[in-house]
């Protein structure tokens, strides 16, 4: 009987851990689906000026969410987007990064890494939640999962990358944009 009781306690503890972990990633809700209207937003950029999604009306928008400024994967991803900036410009596409970091953190990151596209600060999770981007909490720190939305010039979600490999992501996005080129 004791053995059965221990297994019950173990099973309940495992369920609690799994549900808690799922809730930590899914707290923001479901990610937007292809075809959905991209929610408009206003967030401060690295120069602390407000940026609205509607500022990019008529352009493709690569809205990429990333965990943290000045970390290896996030720096690699940002460098690759910066490297390919001219290709995005030629395809009428804007690159916009969003993390839970502050405008000051973004300013330092952009200055250190010579980034010229907009990085937006979402420390209150407003846009992260609106787009259903999962958030992981470790101790006192929270991090957005690496997710990218390609938003069409008419404001619809054209493609979602729910799991991004930073080293090859810019090429993936450019390839997708090429399929939409007229």
Domain range for 11 is 2-180
Based on the structure, what is the number of domains in the chain? 1
Q: Rounded to whole angstroms, how far apart are CA atoms 129 and 15? A: 25
User: Residues 100-121: pLDDT tens digits?
Assistant: 999 999 999 999 999 999 999 9
- Here the CATH number for the domain that contains residue 41 is 3.40.30.10
- The DSSP bridge partners found for residue 104 are none
**Catalytic residue (one of 62, 74, 151, 158):** 74
Name the pTM for this structure.
0.83
pLDDT per position as a tens digit, 21-77: 443 343 446 899 999 999 999 999 999 999 999 999 999 999 999 999 999 889 899
Active site residue 74: yes
Write the DSSP string, 145-180: --EEEEE-TTSBEEEEESS--TTTHHHHHHHHHHHH
Element containing residue 61 per DSSP (H, E)? strand 60-65
């Amino acid at each position: 009987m004791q053995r059965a009781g221990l297994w019950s306690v173990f099973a309940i503890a495992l369920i609690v851990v799994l549900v808690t972990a799922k809730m930590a990633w899914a707290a923001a809700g479901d990610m937007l689906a292809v075809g959905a209207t991209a929610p408009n937003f206003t967030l401060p950029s690295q120069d602390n000026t407000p940026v609205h999604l509607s500022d990019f009306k008529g352009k493709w928008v690569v809205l990429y969410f990333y965990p943290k400024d000045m970390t290896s994967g996030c720096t690699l991803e940002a460098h690759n987007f910066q490297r390919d900036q001219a290709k995005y410009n030629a395809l009428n596409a804007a690159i916009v990064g969003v993390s839970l970091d502050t405008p000051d953190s973004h300013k330092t990151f952009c200055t250190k890494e010579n980034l010229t596209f907009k990085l937006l600060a979402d420390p209150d999770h407003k846009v992260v939640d609106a787009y259903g981007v999962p958030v992981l909490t470790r101790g006192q720190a929270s991090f957005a999962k690496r997710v990218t939305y390609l938003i069409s010039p008419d404001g619809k979600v054209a493609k979602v990358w729910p799991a991004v490999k930073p080293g090859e992501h810019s090429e993936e996005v450019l390839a997708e944009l090429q399929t939409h080129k007229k």
